[in-house]
Structure formats: C-alpha cells, structure tokens
C-alpha cells in the first residue's frame, strides 16, 4: 500500500438495539470481539489507527490496546452520529496528506482487500470513496443516489428517503475513504437537520459534490458488509464467519465430515490431514497438528493437540491442555491444565486436571484427579507407563511413579513408588448361598400375600 492511510474505527455507538450491558463491538464473532476482526483487517493497510469510543467504554479501549498497542483512542463525548464520531478523531490525526479510511466497528466481515481497493480509488481527482453493496433487502441501510451519468451524488438514510429513493437497492456499507486534505472542511459542513437529529457521515458525499469534487463507489458482496445492530444480525454474521473459516480449513487440507456442524474460532490453527467429525465446537486458543482425528460431539478450547492424537467422541479439552503425539482421549473425558505425554490413553469417563500423564500411561475408566480442595488447586503427577485402575480417585497433591499400578476403586492419597501396586479399598467378603436364601424368603412372602 503506497498511499499513507489513517484508519478511524467508529465504536462509540450506544447499540441500543443489542439490549446489552456489553458494548456492541465487544460481542464476539467466532470467539473474537467484532472490534478485533476490524482491527486485524485494517492492520494490513494502515499506518495509524484511531478507535472512537464512548465516554464509559474503558473496556473497549483496553481491548483495542490489547490487539493493536499502537492504536490511539478518541472519546466521542455524546453519541451524535457517525459524522460527529469522525470529528472526535480529527485531533488525533498526524498525517497531512493521504487518505482517512473510516470503518465501523460493527461490520466485522469487511475484507482488507476491499478496504485496499477503496484507498486506491480515493485519489486527488476523486477524493471521496464509499463502500457500496447490492442489498437483497435494503431495510434500514443508507441508499446510494446516483445522477443521470451514474455518478454518486448523495447518500440518503432510510429515515430521510422518499419513496423513489427507498426503492434503490445499492446501499451504503458504512466504510468511507476521504482524502486528508478535504477531511476537516467536509466534516465541518455536516449538520444535524435530519430525521434522526444526528451528524451523518454520509452527508460528506453531498458536500463534496457541491464543491465540485467527484465521489466513487467500491462495491463488495453483501455477505462482507452485513452490519450488526441486533442479536439476530450477530447470529447471521457468525454464520457467515463460520462459513469462511470452514472453507479455509478445507482448502488447507482438513476434512470436515459435515462442515455446517463444525464451529471454529478466528484463531484456530489446524494442520493438514486432520479429520473433524460432526458437531465439534472449537473455542479460542486451539492448535491442532497434522494427522489428528477429532471425533463427533467434542468440545475444545485453549489446548494444543499434537500429531496423530485421537480425540473423542464426546471429549472435552479445556484451557491449558497439551495433548501429546498419538494420545487417545475418549468419550466423556475432560482435561484441563494437563500435559498428556506421547501415546498415553485416557479412554473413558475421566477428569484429568492440573496434572501430568506420562508417556504410554493408561488411565482406567472413571479416574478422577481430585485437584481442588475448595481453596487451592493441587498437582497430580502420573509417571510414564503407569496403570491407573478404573474408578481411582487421585487426591492431589500426589505422585504416581513410573510403571506403578493403582487398584480399581482406590482413593490414592499418598505417593506411589515406581513399579509398585497401591490398593486402597476394603476387603471383599462372601456369604455362600445368601442370595438364594434371600430370594426364597421373598417368594414365599409374596405367595402368602396373594
């Protein structure tokens, strides 16, 4: 990108239609706040970003700083419209020449390629570029009004449009590129004499034309432009984002048995020849190496799965899990902060938390690491080649030595030496003939009662 670009991200809106205590731009799409998607898209093409936030939006500024430490924050004191929001950013702009690119924090599907195209179309000869799209249902979007020569003359908001204008399907996607040499004067001309009583950024087009400046439109597919104003919009945008992530995974050599039922996160990393079964949900912070199989109905977040591992069906991998090469994690197994080393098997009904499971260890069905005492978490260390009998409770802190066995049903509270067997359960006793006598007694009773 040769043109010097300053990006202004508008995120100060009240978002009343979301009915939420959380600012709209912090609502996640594919586990990443909408603002994160926008910041990542603009990071590729801008030198300076300014995020415009409302007065009580410290959480938005903090989040912006975490994703883009160089981004500046501008506070819009009162939410008086998109034009007013841009005005709030003006004092932060350092560059004198180049392009100001205005994007909305509530439009997370916008592609950086489209934004680059807009910046390139925004030339000294045509100093205003609007992002347009053909809407299947133009609903509340602003309409792009063109003259007889097909040149953009103004943008009219749905509220202020006449019947003829309402019928226009070419709509305003929200983003706008304006040459910096015209930005201040055009923003200064905005007025709030409209139905909403707001300073509309969209009026920049009309003022530019009045000064004899020409305005262009860069069109993008409707799917990229969808804005989020309500929870229903949020769900629609999530679907589109998931569609993109699934398509990308498959293009990279991942088999999705039923793509529509697999949910990924924006930061999911998946290697080649991974197979993911139906109804798998992958939350944030998951890295899956090549050759891994994730069977249906598994839920993963915050974990690393190494080559050749087999996960699920019905497995739950929680944050801090490191699942080693060729490990098997079976049904109804939950791992959390657990390092499971190469070739270990945890196949059924088990909780492994705050623990290490050594290489090739076998964890029997129903094993529980009792890691929490109500106040603190404690560590369980299981050695290589250990064999944990079914239904063992390992009360942490506790260490099972390499190659040791624990008897089924044991509650292990003391360390077990390498290669030893630890059993902790009461002795079995047997009463010969007891069951037959018991049955006989009840059968006679029942007959008598007939």
Binding positions for Ca ion, rule: CB under 5 A: 106, 227, 229
Q: List the x/- string, 43-62, binding to ligand UD1 by CB under 6 A.
A: ---------x----------
Considering only CA atoms, which of 344, 416, 324, 336 is closest in space to residue 368? 336
328 assigned to active site: no
Per CB under 6 A, 110 contacts ligand UD1 = no
Binding footprint of ligand UD1, residue count (CB under 6 A):
29
**Sequential DSSP letters for 351-406:** EEEEEEE-TT-EE-TT-EEE-B-SS-B--EEE-TT-EEPTT-EEESSEEE-TT-EE
**Residue with the CB atom nearest ligand UD1 in the bound state:** 142
Yes or no: say if 162 and 169 are a contact pair by the CB < 8 Å rule: no
Q: List the x/- string, 138-167, binding to ligand UD1 by CB under 6 A.
A: ---xx------------x-x----------
Considering only CA atoms, which of 308, 337, 83, 265 is closest in space to residue 190? 83
- The footprint of ligand UD1 on residues 324-363 (CB under 6 A) is none
CA pair distance 404, 382, nearest whole angstrom = 9
CA pair distance 239, 246, nearest whole angstrom = 11
Considering only CA atoms, which of 405, 366, 365 is closest in space to residue 382? 405
3-class secondary structure, 90: helix
Per CB under 6 A, 412 contacts ligand UD1 = no
E strand or H helix at 129: strand 128-134
| Rounded least distance, CB 30 to ligand UD1, Å | 18
Q: Annotated catalytic residue: which of 37, 182, 207, 348?
A: 348
| Rounded least distance, CB 137 to Ca ion, Å | 15
Q: List the x/- string, 2-41, binding to ligand UD1 by CB under 6 A.
A: --------xxxx----------------------------
Phi (first) and psi of residue 439, to 5 degrees: -65, -45
Q: Which is nearer to Ca ion, 76 or 335 (CB)?
A: 76
CA distances from 56 to 25, 75, 106, 439 (A): 14, 9, 18, 74
CA pair distance 172, 30, nearest whole angstrom = 25
Q: Which is nearer to Ca ion, 229 or 408 (CB)?
A: 229
Query: Which residue from 27, 72, 80, 339 is in contact with ligand UD1, where contact means CB under 6 A?
Result: 80
Residue 354's region, left for phi above 0, alpha for psi from -120 to 50, else beta, is left
| Rounded least distance, CB 175 to ligand UD1, Å | 9
| Rounded least distance, CB 397 to Ca ion, Å | 53
Interface region with ligand UD1, contact rule CB under 6 A, candidates 76-84, 162-170, 303-311, 322-330: 76-84
| Rounded least distance, CB 169 to Ca ion, Å | 18
Per CB under 6 A, 85 contacts ligand UD1 = yes
Per CB under 6 A, 200 contacts ligand UD1 = yes
- 201 contact, one of ligand UD1, Ca ion, none, CB 5-8 Å limit per kind: ligand UD1
| Rounded least distance, CB 415 to ligand UD1, Å | 58
Yes or no: say if 23 and 59 are a contact pair by the CB < 8 Å rule: yes
Binding residues vs ligand UD1 (CB under 6 A) = 10-13, 52, 76, 79-82, 84-85, 104-107, 141-142, 155, 157, 171-174, 200-202, 227, 229
Query: Which residues have a catalytic role annotated?
Result: 348
């Amino acid at each position: 990108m040769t043109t010097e670009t300053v990006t202004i991200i508008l995120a100060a809106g009240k978002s009343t239609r979301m009915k939420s205590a959380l600012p709209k731009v912090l609502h996640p799409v594919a586990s990443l706040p909408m603002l994160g998607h926008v910041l990542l898209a603009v990071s590729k093409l801008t030198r300076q970003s300014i995020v415009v936030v409302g007065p009580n939006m410290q959480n938005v500024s903090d989040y912006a700083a975490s994703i883009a430490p160089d981004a500046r924050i501008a506070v819009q004191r009162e939410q008086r419209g998109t034009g007013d929001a841009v005005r709030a950013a003006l004092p932060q702009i350092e560059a004198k020449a180049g392009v100001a690119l205005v994007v909305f924090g509530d439009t997370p599907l916008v592609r950086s390629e489209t934004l680059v195209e807009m910046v390139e179309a925004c030339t000294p000869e045509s100093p205003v570029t609007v992002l347009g799209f053909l809407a299947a249902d133009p609903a509340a979007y602003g309409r792009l009004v063109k003259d007889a020569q097909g040149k953009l003359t103004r943008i009219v908001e749905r509220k202020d449009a006449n019947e003829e204008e309402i019928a226009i399907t070419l709509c305003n996607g929200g983003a706008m590129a304006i040459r910096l040499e015209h930005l201040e004067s055009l923003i200064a001309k905005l007025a709030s004499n409209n139905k909403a009583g707001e300073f509309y950024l969209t009026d920049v087009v009309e003022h530019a034309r009045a000064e004899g400046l020409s305005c262009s439109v860069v069109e993008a597919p409707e799917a990229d432009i969808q804005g989020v104003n309500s929870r229903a919009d949020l769900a629609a945008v999530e679907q589109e984002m998931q569609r993109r992530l699934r398509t990308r995974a498959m293009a990279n050599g991942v088999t999705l048995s039923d793509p529509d039922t697999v949910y990924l996160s924006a930061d999911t990393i998946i290697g080649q020849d991974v197979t993911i079964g139906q109804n798998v949900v992958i939350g944030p912070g998951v890295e899956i190496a090549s050759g891994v199989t994730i069977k249906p109905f598994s839920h993963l977040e915050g974990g690393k799965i190494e080559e050749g591992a087999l996960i699920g069906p019905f497995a739950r991998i929680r944050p801090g899990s490191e699942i080693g090469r060729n490990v098997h994690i079976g049904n109804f197994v939950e791992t959390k902060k657990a390092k499971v080393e190469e070739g270990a098997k945890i196949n059924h009904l088990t909780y492994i938390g705050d623990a290490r499971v050594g290489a090739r260890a076998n964890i029997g069905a129903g094993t529980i690491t009792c890691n929490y005492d109500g106040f603190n978490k404690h560590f369980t260390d299981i050695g290589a080649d250990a064999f944990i009998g079914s239904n063992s409770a390992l009360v942490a802190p506790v260490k099972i030595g390499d190659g040791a066995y624990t008897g089924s049903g044991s509650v292990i509270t003391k360390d077990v030496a390498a290669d030893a067997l630890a059993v902790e359960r009461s002795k079995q006793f047997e009463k010969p003939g007891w069951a037959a006598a018991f049955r006989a007694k009840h059968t006679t009773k029942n007959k008598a009662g007939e």
